[in-house]
Amino acid sequence: MNNSKLNKWERIRARGKMRYVIIHGVISWGIPAAILTSVITTLWETKTLKFNSEFVSDLLISLVVFPIFGIVFGLWTWHIFDSKFPKNEEI
């Protein structure tokens, strides 16, 4: 096992699961996915990017839905990483 990866995960783990889920699931995945999906959908449907009420409505819905899935994504990746690295291992 790579000690630097273990050290990095120990620092992340020490900050807590909630922080990890918010940063990696909601902020790093959910919000960018919401914005990107709204932009791509608008470009696909209208062939132009207009910030009209329909775009804003779609964006607001996406900014609710995708971060919820971001929470699930964050919890899932936390579980994967946490099970990969043993706890309280001598380094």
Res 88 pLDDT > 70: no
2 located within any domain = no
Q: How many domains does the chain have?
A: 1
pLDDT for res 1: 55
**Structural domain span for residue 26:** 15-84
Decide if 20 is inside a domain.
yes
Decide if 38 contacts 55 (C-beta within 8 A). yes
**Mean pLDDT to the nearest integer, 56-71:** 96
pLDDT greater than 80 at residue 18: yes
Name the band, by pLDDT with cuts 50, 70 and 90, for residue 91: very low
pTM given for the model: 0.81
Does 74 map to a domain? yes
Domain membership of residue 8 (yes or no) is: no
Phi/psi at 87 (5° precision): -85, 150
Question: CA 34 to CA 30: how far, in whole Å?
Answer: 6
- Which residues lie below 8 Å from residue 89, measured CB to CB, with a gap of 6+? 1, 6
Residue 90 lies in a domain: no
